[in-house]
Amino acid sequence: MMISLNNRKEEFGMNTISVGEMLKLKKFTFKLRIIKINGVLVSKENYDSTIIHDGDDVQMIYLMSGG
């Protein structure tokens, strides 16, 4: 399946993938981030139950301390 991750095409071998699996597969270990799929925010506690499908638009924002 092909998704858009931060406006870049990204291919995965499977048909669907959970947000949690995607983070592991891509080795995204930084802990504080915001993820939106097709414009809808996914809470951290729902990472493993939220499924990304072919064609989805995934946006990820890194949150850095300091303000």
Interacting residues toward other proteins by CB under 8 A: 32-34, 36, 39, 41, 43-44, 59, 61-67
Distance in angstroms (rounded) separating the CA atoms of residues 31 and 49: 18
Nearer Cβ to other proteins, position 15 or 55? 55
Backbone angles phi, psi at 63, to 5 degrees: -105, 115
Token pair belonging to 21:
């699996």
Nearer Cβ to other proteins, position 25 or 41? 41
Nearer Cβ to other proteins, position 13 or 67? 67
Considering the complex, what minimum distance in angstroms separates the CB of residue 51 from other proteins? 19
3-class state of residue 8 by DSSP: strand
